Amino acid sequence: MYLGDEAWPDLETYFEEESLALVPTGSTEQHGPHLPEATDHLIAEAFAREAAERTGYLCTPTINVGVSGHHRQFHGTMWVDPPAFREYVESLTRNLTEHGIDRVIYVNAHGGNVPHLREVGARLRQDETAFAIEWMWNESIPDLVDELFEQNGPHGGPKETAMIQHLRSELVHDDRLEEARDGGIPSVDAAGTVKHGSRTFYDAADNTENGVLGDQTDATAEKGEEMFEAASDQLVELCEWVAAREFEELLPEPHV
C-alpha cells in the first residue's frame, strides 16, 4: 500500500491493524556521466514499493534529498546538512507514530544517509517512541554482489548501473559506460588517498575525476533484475520479522 495513493478514510483500517511503515530514503546527486542523479532514490523507492506490494505494509513518500555534500563539486547535486536531515527524518517518523506506527524500516539506497538514519533510530528507540532501523539493499545480498561483479564500485559502479538498467533503462547512457569506467577509478584503494591508515579524502572529487568507481561495462539489466529480486526477498523477510515482534522485545535492555 502506498500512502500517497490513499484517501484518509481508507487508511483507518491499516492504522488500526498494522504498526509498520516503510520509508524510502535516497539522494539526488551525481552518479557519473552515465546514470541519473535520481539513482539512489529511484532504487530506494522501487524496493520499498515492491515490499509493500508483496506484504501489504505501508510505503510512505520517498525522501529524495539526503546527506550528499561530499558530491557537491558535480553539477546538480543536492544535499542537506546532516543535522537538518536527522531532524527531518526524526520529525517525519514521529509523525507516523501519531497514527499508530511504532516500527519503521528506512529503505535506504545512499551510503551517506546510513550513520544519520542509525542515529535517529537509536534516539527513537531510547525514548521508546518507535523501533526504526536502516536497511541498505546491497548489504542484504553481499555474496551475490561479489559473485556478479569483479569490482562493484561502490559509487556509480556496476551494481548501481545494473540496478538502474533493470528499473529505468531509458535513463542510462549505455554509450557512456566505457567513458565512466575510464574516467573514474576501480576502487578507493586505487586512488591512493588512504595514507598511513588515514582516510585523507572528504569528497568524491578527491578520489575520482568523474565521480564514480568500478567497471560500469560489467553491468547488465539481467544482473540488476537478479539483485532486485534477491534483495526484495530479504526486505520482505525483514518486514515480517519486525512485524512479528512484540514491541517490548524491540526496546532497549534494562540497566544491569
In a domain, 125, yes or no: yes
Which among 234, 211, 223 is positioned nearest to 165, based on CA atoms?
223
User: Is the N-terminal amide bond of 154 cis, ω within 30° of 0?
Assistant: yes
Neighbour-count burial for 76-101, b at 16+ CB within 10 Å, e otherwise: ebebbebeebbebbbebbeebbeeeb
Look at the alpha carbons of 189, 190, 192, 196 in this order and tell me if their dihedral is positive or negative: positive
Look at the alpha carbons of 27, 135, 104, 52 in this order and tell me if their dihedral is positive or negative: positive
In a domain, 253, yes or no: no
SS3 69: helix
> What would the 3-class secondary structure string for 177-218 be?
HHHHHHHCECCHHHHCCEECCEECCCCHHHCCCCCCECCHHH
In a domain, 196, yes or no: yes
145: CATH: 3.40.50.10310
Q: What are the residue ranges of helices labelled H in 66-113?
A: 82-97
Q: Is 7 exposed, middle or buried (0-12, 13-18, 19+ CB in 10 A)?
A: exposed
Which among 4, 6, 48 is positioned nearest to 26, based on CA atoms?
48
Whose grid coordinates read 483507518?
A: 12
Rounded to 5 degrees, what are φ and ψ at 53? -65, -40
Using an 8 Å Cβ cutoff, are 140 and 202 in contact? no
Read off the C-alpha cell for 1. 500500500
In a domain, 142, yes or no: yes
In a domain, 73, yes or no: yes
In a domain, 255, yes or no: no
Please tell me the total count of domains within the chain.
Answer: 1
In a domain, 55, yes or no: yes
pLDDT tens for the chain, 256 residues long, are 999 999 999 999 999 999 999 999 999 999 999 999 999 999 999 999 999 999 999 999 999 999 999 999 999 999 999 999 999 999 999 999 999 999 999 999 999 999 999 999 999 999 999 999 999 999 999 999 999 998 888 899 999 999 999 999 999 999 999 999 999 999 888 888 999 999 999 999 999 999 999 999 999 999 999 999 999 999 999 999 999 999 999 999 999 9
Interatomic CA distance for residues 4 and 59, integer angstroms: 9
Position 188 scores a pLDDT of 85
In a domain, 254, yes or no: no
Position 152 scores a pLDDT of 81
Using an 8 Å Cβ cutoff, are 40 and 46 in contact? no
Position 27 scores a pLDDT of 98
Give the pTM. Answer: 0.96
Q: Domain range holding 105?
A: 3-247
